[in-house]
C-alpha cells in the first residue's frame, strides 16, 4: 500500500511517530499526482519546489506542537488566491495573475501545518457544473474517464477521489461542492454563508459563494472545516458565531432525530437510481433511530430561475473590473481604448461567462430591474422562508445531492437546460444560505451517487453527526475507483 492509500489517521500516526517525514509524504504525493493526473487532469498547476521547501521546514516542528492536520497534503481550487502561486480561476483573463497574498483559508491551513501541493481545475470563474468550461483542460471522473467529475469544483473532487490528495478546498455558489462530491463518491460540505471567510476568493456571486472542504470521510471533512471556520476581520460577511468542536459531534447517536424529506426533491427530473438510493439511505437512518417524514418546500419551483437571475446579475457586475485596463488580460489587437475594452473581454472570456454576463446585464438594465431582479429577490426570500418553516419542525432535511449520476463528457455541452436542471437540488440551499453536505450513498452503472443532508443556519455539527452515523452504517465511502489501485 502506498502512503496516499492510507487513512488520515494512519498518516498522522506515521508523522507523529516520525516514521515518515513531511517531506517524504509530500514527495510521495507528487509521485502519485505525476502518475495519475495524466489521465484525470485535476490540477492546473503544481508548486512542487515551494511545497517541498515548506515540508522540510515543518519537519523541524516539535511533535507536541503538531495538530490533527499537520503535514498533510492539500489541493486548492484555483479561484482561491495563493501568495506567489498563479491563480487563474480557469480563465485566460487571469492566466498570468500571481497574487501577493494568501486567502484567509489558505493562511489558516498553512498555520495548521498543511502543505498545499497545487491548484485545482474548475469551470471558468466557477460557472458550470461539469468542469468542461475551463480555459485550460477538461477534468475527468476517476471512476470512468469518459464521464465528467461535476463542477465547478470538479478538479478538487476528482483529485480526492483519485487518491492524489486526501484534502481539497472547493467553492459552492449553487452546488459546486456537493454535486461534484456526489459524482466522484467523496464527502463535500457547503457551510452556512458566513461560516468561512471569503477573503481571497475570486467571486462568482458574492451573496452566494462559500468555501468548503472536500474529503474522503466525514471525520476528515469536520477537521478541515474546523481549521478554516470562524470570524475574519478581512471579510465583513463572516460570522462572529462561535465555532463548535465538530469532531465531538461524531457520536453516531441519532436516536429520535427528526428528518424531513422534501416532496419536491424526489419529483420530476430526479432519476430512478437517485431516488432509490435516497430511499434506501432513509431506511438506514430509520434503523439507527431517526424519525422520517415528508415535508413540502412549496416555493422550490421558483428557486432555479431566481438563482440564475440573481447570480448572473452579481457576476456581470463583479466581472466588469476585468476590462484589460484595470485588471486581467489585455488584447494585443486593440488600436484604441474602446477596442481594448471590447477585444480584451471578447478574447479572454469563454462562452459560459459571456452568456451569464449578458443575462446579468439584461436583468439589471433599465426597464428590467423591477420586473426581473426584484422579483427574483422576492422569490429568494420565499425559498428561504420555506427552510425556516421546515427547520421549525425537523432537525435536518434529506434529498439526493444530484438528480443523476455523472454525465458523459460532451453529453450536455450544447443543452443549457440540462445543465440548469443539474442544479435543481442544490441551488435552493445557496438561496437560503443554509449548510448542506453530500456523502456517498450508492452507485449507478459503477458511477457514484450522493446523499444530501441539509441543516439550519450554523448547524454544521448536527449535519456531521447524521452524516457520520450514516457513513459508519454503510460501506460506500470505503470503495475506491480502479485508477487508485492501478497507479
Asked if residues 37 and 43 have their Cβ atoms less than 8 Å apart, the reply is yes
Percent of the chain predicted with pLDDT > 70? 97
| Catalytic choice (129, 134, 152, 153) | 152
Enter the C-alpha cell of residue 102: 494568501
Please state whether the predicted TM-score (pTM) of the whole model is above 0.75: yes
Dump the DSSP string for 427-454: HHHHHHT--EEEEEEEEETTEEEEEEEE
Give the pLDDT score at 1: 58
- List the single range of 54-63, 73-82, 226-235, 362-371 with lowest mean pLDDT: 362-371
Region 321-332: what's the mean pLDDT?
94
Region 374-387: what's the mean pLDDT?
97
Region 67-75: what's the mean pLDDT?
97
Enter the C-alpha cell of residue 286: 430509520
Inter-helix orientation angle 272-287/460-473, to 10°? 90
Catalytic (active site) residue 343:
no
Region 117-145: what's the mean pLDDT?
97
Residues 177-201 pLDDT 10s: 999 999 999 999 999 999 999 999 9
Q: Give the chain's domains with CATH numbers.
A: 3-257+435-484 (3.90.1300.10)
pLDDT(75) > 60 = yes
Catalytic (active site) residue 111:
no
Residues 4-40 pLDDT 10s: 888 888 999 999 999 999 999 999 999 999 999 999 9
Region 466-478: what's the mean pLDDT?
97
**Mean per-residue pLDDT over the chain, rounded:** 95
pLDDT confidence bin for 421, thresholds 50/70/90: low
The phi and psi torsions of 139 (rounded to 5 degrees) equal -80, 145
Give the pLDDT score at 414: 45
pLDDT(275) > 60 = yes
| Catalytic choice (91, 153, 176, 316) | 176
Catalytic (active site) residue 152:
yes
| Catalytic choice (77, 119, 343, 405) | 77
Amino acid at each position: 500500500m502506498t502512503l496516499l492509500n492510507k487513512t488520515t489517521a494512519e498518516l498522522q500516526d506515521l508523522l507523529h511517530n516520525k516514521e515518515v517525514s513531511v517531506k517524504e509524504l509530500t514527495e510521495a504525493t507528487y509521485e502519485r499526482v505525476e502518475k495519475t493526473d495524466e489521465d484525470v487532469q485535476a490540477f492546473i498547476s503544481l508548486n512542487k519546489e515551494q511545497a517541498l521547501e515548506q515540508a522540510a521546514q515543518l519537519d523541524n516542528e516539535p511533535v507536541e506542537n503538531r495538530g490533527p492536520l499537520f503535514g498533510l497534503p492539500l489541493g486548492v481550487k484555483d479561484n482561491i488566491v495563493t501568495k506567489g502561486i498563479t491563480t487563474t480561476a480557469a480563465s485566460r483573463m487571469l492566466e498570468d495573475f500571481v497574487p501577493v497574498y494568501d486567502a484567509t483559508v489558505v493562511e489558516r491551513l498553512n498555520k495548521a501545518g498543511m502543505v498545499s501541493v497545487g491548484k485545482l481545475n474548475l469551470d471558468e470563474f466557477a460557472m458550470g457544473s461539469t468542469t468542461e468550461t475551463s480555459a485550460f483542460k477538461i477534468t475527468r471522473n476517476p471512476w470512468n474517464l469518459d464521464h465528467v467529475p461535476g463542477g465547478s469544483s470538479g478538479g478538487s473532487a476528482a483529485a480526492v477521489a483519485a487518491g492524489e490528495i486526501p484534502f481539497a478546498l472547493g467553492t459552492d455558489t449553487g452546488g459546486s461542492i456537493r454535486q461534484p462530491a456526489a459524482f466522484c463518491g467523496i464527502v463535500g460540505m457547503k457551510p452556512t454563508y458566513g461560516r468561512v471567510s471569503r477573503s481571497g476568493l475570486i467571486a462568482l456571486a458574492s451573496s452566494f459563494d462559500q468555501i468548503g472542504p472536500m474529503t474522503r470521510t466525514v471525520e476528515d471533512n469536520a477537521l478541515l472545516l474546523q481549521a478554516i471556520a470562524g470570524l475574519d476581520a478581512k471579510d465583513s460577511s463572516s460570522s462572529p458565531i462561535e465555532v463548535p468542536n465538530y469532531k465531538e459531534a461524531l457520536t453516531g447517536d441519532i436516536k429520535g432525530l427528526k428528518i424531513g424529506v422534501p416532496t419536491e426533491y424526489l419529483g420530476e427530473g430526479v432519476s430512478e437510481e437517485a431516488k432509490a438510493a435516497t430511499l434506501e439511505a432513509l431506511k438506514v437512518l430509520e434503523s439507527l433511530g431517526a424519525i422520517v417524514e415528508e415535508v413540502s418546500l412549496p416555493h422550490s419551483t421558483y428557486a432555479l430561475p431566481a438563482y440564475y437571475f440573481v447570480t448572473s446579475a452579481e457576476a456581470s457586475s463583479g466581472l466588469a473590473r476585468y476590462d484589460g485596463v484595470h485588471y486581467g488580460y489585455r488584447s494585443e489587437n486593440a488600436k484604441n481604448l474602446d477596442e481594448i475594452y471590447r477585444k480584451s473581454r471578447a478574447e479572454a472570456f469563454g462562452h459560459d461567462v459571456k452568456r451569464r454576463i449578458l443575462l446579468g446585464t439584461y436583468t439589471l438594465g433599465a426597464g428590467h430591474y423591477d420586473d426581473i431582479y426584484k422579483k427574483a429577490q422576492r422569490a429568494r426570500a420565499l425559498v428561504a422562508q420555506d427552510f425556516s418553516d421546515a427547520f421549525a419542525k425537523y432537525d435536518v432535511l434529506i434529498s439526493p445531492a444530484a438528480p443523476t449520476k455523472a454525465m458523459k463528457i460532451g453529453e450536455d455541452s450544447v443543452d443549457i437546460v440540462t445543465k440548469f436542471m443539474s442544479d435543481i437540488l442544490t441551488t435552493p440551499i445557496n438561496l437560503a444560505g443554509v449548510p448542506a453536505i453530500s456523502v456517498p450513498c450508492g452507485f449507478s452503472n459503477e458511477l457514484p451517487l450522493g446523499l444530501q443532508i441539509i441543516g439550519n443556519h450554523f448547524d454544521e455539527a448536527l449535519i456531521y453527526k447524521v452524516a457520520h452515523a450514516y457513513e459508519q452504517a454503510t460501506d460506500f465511502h470505503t470503495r475506491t475507483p480502479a485508477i487508485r489501485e492501478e497507479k
